[in-house]
Structure 1
Amino acid sequence: MMCIAVANQKGGVAKTTTVTSLGTAMSELGYRVLLVDLDPQACMTFSLGLDPDSLELSVHDVLLGQVSPSMVLQKTEDGPDLLPATIDLAGAEAMLLTRTGREYALRNALDDLQEAVADDGEPYDVVLLDCPPSLGVLTINGLTAATEVLIPLQCETLSHRGVGQLLDTIADVRKMTNRKLKVRGILPTMFDARTTHARDVLDDVAMRYKLPVLDPPIARSIRFAEAPAAGRSIMRTARRAKGAEAYRIHAREIMESSGIAAKGDERVGK
């Protein structure tokens, strides 16, 4: 099972949009996809048509070991399954700090869930984690559980100032809790090809941090802001939008570059 953490401690860089769009695109290709909302703001949960305020159980309860992940699992209209978040998750960090092995809470929960669904014959092919805009315990849990990190980056100068801190945290996680963690690269978001500034920012990031910059960039579009109001991803509300097509390209490339791709292609008859 591939597990991708979508992380950047700066807010407003399209982490949630990236997770929902990639997850839906992968589901379109025939893969079994799980999305995990690790942000106490619960934006992804809301964006996929659930009311966080009405949920009795969430990933908060899973991380604290109070319930099994399968009890929290929700189906979405867009295709992927979801472990939703609520505001209760804000208190999980403080509670986890007192626990031994707190960094492994999510990894252990995902292992348990994968075993449970495998018993039914339908294990997940890929898990996508929507990390909160911080470098706290929840993000560390995401990085410890992940096989890869994808870094969405708004193409503006101030947006890449925290990338170095995130990379330092990733380096620490590699040393302490997850030696196999890899960085897939930077995904440019809210990209305006008409400006030289956006292109200059991408060139600077690639040179400064020695990271791959994934192509194509995700173009700025009002369609991304409209989708959450419908409780769906842009892959359903504006299927032919330029941004939706770009996410489909990235989803296919991610799956084709993984060891799971052959299985997925075979399953969907490609």
Structure 2
Amino acid sequence: MGKKVLVIDLDPQTNATLMLIGEEKWFELNKKEQTLARLFKDAMDPDNRKFNLEGTLQKQVSDVGAARTIDLLPSSLDLIDVQDKLASAPAGKFYAANPIDLLWRAVKGKLDDYDVVIVDCPPNLGIITLNGLRISEGYIIPTIPDHLSTYGIPQITTRIRDFSEAISETIEPVGIVATKYQANSTVHNNVLKQLREDADLPDVMDTIIRQANAVAAAAEFQMYSRTLKQKYGAELAGQYDDLAREIWSALEA
């Protein structure tokens, strides 16, 4: 779509990072501490700050040839250990070093350079996720449409609403995205119907991402350039394209 996109990977699993730059490049950056883990480590040792935004920002990432307007702030497995320690980080002069503002302080000067910023958060609402929500105007909940995967959605929406009110910033639900959907599953179809009929939940987006082996295969970064259809297959690439356009329409609205 020609949009300039920044991906901020806050998930310690580093999936978004590995898909966009590959394991070899990530290992190199992680060794030099050019990941977001360094940003959060600095909060616990403010006299020894090492995070450098320009050095950490990876430009024109992705092995999809047409996607040359994507930049990335990579994640690190080190975030697993960092998150539990952030609550006890020094408050700083005048108690200004709020642990939920760490990411915002680091990237606020860059955000207006992009049409859209996608923050990939870990599957919890801890301090690192709150850092992602702090800079966000909306959020998307991807879920497998089964009972266990969707059980916590009401709690997620309630807590994000409470957080939004606490910081006096609007964070609206963009929608729920059903993923790994199996059309022949009675459970998936029944849960999807329940999600759509529940007026207390965010709207379920029209685009559904079906279960496909191509998703697992696409996770392997290739050094050569390829098309979206070559990466995911024609059907799945079409679904992702539809989803991107649906999300963009929701954001514009």
Pairing 1:245–2:238 present = yes
Letter in 2 for 1:126: V
Corresponding position of 2:249: 256
TM score, norm. by length of structure 1? 0.75
Distance 1:236 1:252 in 2: 16
Partner of 2:94: none
Per mean C-alpha deviation after superposition, the further-off stretch among 131-140 and 218-227 is 131-140
Deviates more, 1:32-41 or 1:163-172: 163-172
Deviation at 1:229, TM superposition (A): 1.8
Tell me what 1:192 maps to. Answer: 182
Residue matched to 2:191:
201
Q: Which residue of 2 aligns with 1:69?
A: 53
- Aligned-pair distance for 1:224? 0.4
**1 CA distance for matches of 2:9 and 2:238?**
24
CA distance in 2, matches of 1:139, 1:258: 21
Q: Which amino acid aligns with 1:42?
A: T
Equivalence map 1:132-147=2 (5 Å): 132-147=122-137
The separation in 2 between residues aligned to 1:40 and 1:201, in whole angstroms, is: 29
- Quote the residue 2:103 is aligned against: 106
Equivalent residue, structure 2, for 1:124: 114
TM-score normalised per structure 2: 0.80
Q: For residue 136 of structure 2, what is the amino acid of its counterpart?
A: A
SS in 2 for 1:104: helix
Question: Equivalent residue of 1:192, what SS?
Answer: coil
Give me the whole-angstrom Cα distance separating, in 2, the residues matched to 1:179 and 1:167: 15
Is residue 154–residue 201 contact of structure 2 (8 Å, CA) maintained in 1? Answer: no
Q: Which moved more, 1:166-175 or 1:181-190?
A: 166-175
SS in 1 for 2:215: helix
Instruction: Name the counterpart of 1:3.
Output: none
Match of 2:74 among 65, 70, 84: 84
- Superposed CA RMSD in Å reads 2.3
| Per-residue deviation, 1:110 | 2.2
- Structure 1 segments unaligned to the other structure (5+ residues): 1-28, 116-122, 262-270
> How far 1:156 sits from its partner (Å)?
1.4
Q: 1:236 to 1:109 in 2, by over 3 A?
A: farther
Report which of the two structures shows the higher radius of gyration computed on alpha carbons.
2
Measure, in 2, the Cα distance between the counterparts of 1:187 and 1:159. 12
Q: Does 1:60 align with 2:37?
A: yes
| Amino acid aligned to 2:201 | K
Matched, 1:229 2:220: yes
The alignment of Structure 1 onto Structure 2 pairs a total of residues equal to 225
Number of the residue aligned with 1:210? 201
Higher RCO, 1 or 2 (CA under 8 Å, sep at least 6)? 1
Compared with structure 1, are the counterparts of its residues 238 and 41 closer, same or farther at alpha carbon in structure 2 (3 Å cutoff)? closer
> Of residues 145, 157, 165 in structure 1, which corresponds to 2:147?
157
* Counterpart contact for 2:207–2:246, Cα < 8 Å: no
Q: Is the 8 A contact 2:142 2:176 kept in 1?
A: yes
Distance 1:47 1:104 in 2: 27
Would the aligned equivalents of 1:59 and 1:69 in 2 still touch at CA under 8 Å? no
CA shift in 2, pair 1:45/1:180, >3 Å? same
Does residue 1:43 correspond to 2:15, yes or no?
yes
Q: What is the rounded CA distance, in whole Å, between the counterparts of 1:108 and 1:231 in structure 2?
A: 34
